[in-house]
Amino acid sequence: MRKFLRRPGYGTPADRGAQGAALPGDPHQRAADTACPERAAGHAEAAAPPPPRPADGSLSGPALRRAAAEFVRLHHGEARRGAPEPRISQVFAEIAETGTYRHTHEELVFGARLAWRNAARCIGRLYWRSLRVLDRRELTGAEEIATASADHLREAVSGGRRIRPLITVFAPDAPGRPGPRIWNEQLIRYAGYERPGGGVVGDPRNVGITAFARGLGWPGGPGTPFDVLPLVIQGTDGAPRWFRLPPDAVLEVPIEHPDHPWWAELDLRWHAVPALACMCLEIGGVCYPAAPFNGWYMGTEIGARNLADSDRYDLLPRVAERLGLDTASDRSLWKDRALVELNRAVLHSFDRAGVTMADHHTESRRFLTHLGREESKGRTVGADWSWIVPPLSGSATPVFHRTYDLVERHPAYVHHPEALARTRGESRGALV
């Protein structure tokens, strides 16, 4: 277990997150994933700066009416539903009566899919139309949301191994009535246990939420580097509670190497479904703070980030040692060579297990296909170059050799600052 211990305070958190659902460094920026503006940009080239929002994330008054009207026009235009004015009038009347409005199921599906299409940091947007939407807006309690979240993980794995894009949408925020919150960054994350003498067993990124869950009464796992964290969920009318994920909801892949039998001695694994859980789905001014969604992993997210980053599992030195590489100088490129072999092992292992996974070369070509399709429809694709270019062999991929417009559109997946604080186990004196 010593090989997984980490020095405290070593590096800064970095994680591209799930394919189709990446995590932003700036909490105010929309993310790829898998990412809160007042303006529903539609086909506009730039969105106006978002107005200040209350803690529950909801808009009100003229701002809500404006965002709702723009979304309805966008939906009726793209879905060819005819004149939007009758629906806009209906929405305005509902806002006047209740302070908010309820999306139809069709609007919810359309908005969730467009939020993926609009994610500037996601390379996997070619598949945005395939997103399956589970409407669970009637659920508000922590226990029932925990059960539905486990169901989400089972539903995301089709036929036992094939991962399919899926989102489960729980109750939205409303004036004076915040919706439920899932504190976890993803539905599946590995615990990080701080050791009294220093260092971390497991994932250093999750030290805060691990300590918070234990403070709620979670006894902890066996103490391995890959203990699955419980879900920490706050219903609409209570404090956060922890819930253990059923084993059949957590599909994991042992990481082995195609050429080196000793690799199995490292005892590595990673979960198959990257389901982002802390991002708000915003559609037409309405915030859905609990809406876990997933695509599938791109190999580099695990092999070049989660297992390799110096502030995460930091495996490059150990892999280099087992490969017999000269680590005395960076000029030997030992990090590069170890990184390639680690990524080979991840791709090989997922392929061997029959679990869906993209590689960065194929996904880069598919992103340019998506770009061409959108531009042929007259839609400018917003993209963040620093996130679209893979973290391994970037210049060997076609997405490296061009520039992109960082156009932000709505609907969107958004990180609210207080949601990011919750993923670190920080309540900041207020649970919502």
Enumerate the active-site residues.
122, 125, 296, 301
> Torsion angle of alpha carbons 388, 281, 296, 3, nearest 10°?
80
268 phi, psi to nearest 5 deg: -95, 155
- In this structure, are strands 280-283 and 412-414 parallel, antiparallel, or unpaired? antiparallel
Structure tokens belonging to residue 177: 């009535």
Structure tokens belonging to residue 368: 């340019």
- In 3D space, the residue among 255, 277, 153 whose CA is nearest the CA of residue 209 turns out to be 277
SS3 96: helix
Using CB atoms within 10 Å of the CB of residue 61, give its burial: 0 to 12 exposed, 13 to 18 middle, 19+ buried.
exposed
Amino acid in position 44: A
Q: What is the DSSP letter of 102?
A: -
Residues 6+ apart with CB under 8 A from 349: 253, 254, 255, 256
CA 72 from centroid of its chain's CA atoms: 26
How crowded is residue 282: how many other Cβ atoms within 10 Å of its Cβ?
34
Structure tokens belonging to residue 115: 């939020």
Q: What is the DSSP letter of 368?
A: H
Say how far apart CA 179 and CA 143 lie, in whole Å.
14
- In 3D space, the residue among 418, 412, 415 whose CA is nearest the CA of residue 47 turns out to be 412
- Asked if residues 134 and 155 have their Cβ atoms less than 8 Å apart, the reply is yes
Alpha-carbon Rg for the chain in angstroms = 22
